Amino acid sequence: MKKLLFAASLLLLAGTTSCRSVEFYEKAAFSDPMMAFDTDRAEAHFYQKVFYSMEGSAGGIGTTAGGGCGCY
């Protein structure tokens, strides 16, 4: 019974996979800036600077540790 269940689940898993590629005209939606996971580079740098200075970690972005206030 377990072998039959395993074979059925394996067949179901193989049937649900897809080999379809994305066409060139469909890629425009993925290159939209709204689809990006990361934020603006300047904004990300600001958040990293504040985070690393508040944590007191040395060399977070290549600079020395801050005093905890996030000041430049």
Give pLDDT tens digits for 5-37.
999 988 888 877 767 777 888 888 877 777 777
Instruction: Tell if the pTM clears 0.75, that is, is over it.
Output: no
Whether the Cβ atoms of residue 60 and residue 48 lie closer than 8 Å to each other: yes
Domain ranges of the chain: 37-72
Model confidence at 57: pLDDT above 60: no
The structure tokens 């430049």 sit at: 72
